[in-house]
């Protein structure tokens, strides 16, 4: 069975449990196939956790779910040193972060110390306990969910940590037909479908090599750079209104991740080359958490998504 056939089966298995979230599945696979962490934001009850749990059953990988709470400690995440009477010495007890896939559920409900502990694991793919550093197994992927920051009991994530997420995906409500299907399916108390395990480590590494062979033209590479620079200095691109509102633009990680994510979109679409549409489709998910607006934008009701939409419309390819 080819890699593409297995990927089609992944979408089929996800659809048997999670209704109406094909885009969400697509973004989770982009993270998986690039090693990029994904942050899912939405109000409670929109199947964020269910989606990640379902995907974990389809993958033959080690999976741990960590429920983030205000009283969570760094040791609860990465582990700690415990005294052993048998050896008369301290031994390492590894925490749940030692897995291939981590579901950091409601990640913005934990305090700053826990966020810092997660930051090292996300960026360095390693964990420090006591005087020793332990590498994490490959592949390693953090799939985090968070509630909107306006909700009670949430802690805004530090900008440095948010930037470590390749994608930030907003999960919205379903339409009426999809919600009707969910209601009928979940109202059946006998419903307990268990997805089949399809992809293992070898499959994922093979797919990553195939994605490396996806070509992107020099024109589109330069287009990505122009988009990123337009978030930093909108005025240079004739975007005078946006220049009033943008405090900080996207970091260099944005150009790297936009390139990678565009290649995966092309791959999932069955192509071996990137189209401009691939870049425009994934750009909002790559950029929305990397652009910081000022207070004037908040006062005028301007959102990051509006700024990104204007940039995508106004920055021309081959500029």
Note the pLDDT tens digit of each residue in 164-219: 999 999 999 999 999 999 898 888 877 788 899 999 999 999 999 999 999 999 99
Give the CATH fold of the 213-314 domain. Helicase, Ruva Protein; domain 3 (1.10.8)
Quick one: CATH architecture of 3-204?
3-Layer(aba) Sandwich (3.40)
List the single range of 9-13, 111-115, 271-275 with lowest mean pLDDT.
Answer: 111-115
Domain ranges of the chain: 3-204, 213-314
Matching fold, domains 3-204 and 213-314: no
Write down the pLDDT at residue 239: 93
Q: With helix as H, strand as E and coil as C, how does the chain read?
A: CCHHHHHHHHHHHHHHHCCCCHHHHHHHHHHHHHCCEEEEECCCCCCHHHHHHHHHHHECCCEEEEECCCCCCHHHHHEEEEEECCCCEEEEEECCCCCCEEEEECHHHCCHHHHHHHHHHHHHCEEEECCEEEECCCCCEEEEEECCCCCCCCCCCCHHHHCCEEEEEECCCCCHHHHHHHHHHHCCCCCCCCCCCCECHHHHHHHHHHHHCCECCHHHHHHHHHHHHHHHCHHHHCCHHHHHHEEECCCHHHHHHHHHHHHHHHHHCCCCECCHHHHHHHHHHHHCCCCEECHHHHHCCCCHHHHHHHHHHHCCCCC
């Amino acid at each position: 069975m080819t890699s593409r056939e297995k990927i089609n089966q992944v979408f089929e298995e996800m659809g048997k449990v999670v209704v109406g979230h094909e885009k969400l599945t697509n973004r989770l696979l982009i993270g998986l196939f690039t090693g990029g962490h994904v942050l899912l934001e939405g109000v409670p009850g929109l199947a964020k956790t269910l989606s990640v749990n379902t995907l974990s059953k389809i993958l033959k990988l080690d999976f741990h779910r960590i429920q983030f709470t205000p009283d969570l400690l760094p040791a609860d995440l990465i582990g700690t040193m415990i005294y052993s009477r048998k050896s008369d010495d301290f031994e390492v007890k590894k925490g749940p972060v030692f897995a291939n896939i981590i579901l950091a559920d409601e990640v913005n409900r934990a305090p700053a110390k826990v966020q810092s502990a997660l930051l090292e694991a996300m960026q360095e793919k390693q964990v420090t306990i006591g005087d020793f550093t332990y590498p994490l197994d490959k592949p390693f992927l953090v799939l985090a969910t968070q509630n909107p920051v306006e909700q009670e009991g949430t802690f805004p994530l530090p900008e440095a940590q948010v930037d470590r997420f390749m994608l930030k995906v907003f999960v919205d409500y379903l339409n009426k037909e999809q919600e009707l299907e969910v209601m009928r399916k979940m109202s059946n108390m006998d419903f307990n479908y268990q997805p089949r395990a399809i992809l293992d480590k070898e499959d994922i590494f093979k797919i990553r090599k195939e994605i490396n062979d996806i070509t992107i033209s020099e024109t589109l590479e330069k287009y990505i750079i122009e988009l990123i620079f337009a978030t930093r200095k909108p005025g240079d691109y004739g975007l005078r209104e946006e220049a009033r509102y943008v405090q900080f633009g996207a970091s260099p990680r944005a150009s790297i991740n936009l390139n990678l994510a565009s290649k995966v979109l092309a791959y999932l679409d069955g192509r071996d080359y990137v189209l401009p549409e691939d870049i425009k489709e994934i750009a909002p998910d790559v950029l929305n958490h990397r652009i910081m607006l000022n207070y004037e934008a908040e006062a005028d009701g301007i959102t990051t998504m509006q700024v990104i939409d204007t940039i995508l419309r106004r920055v021309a390819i081959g500029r």
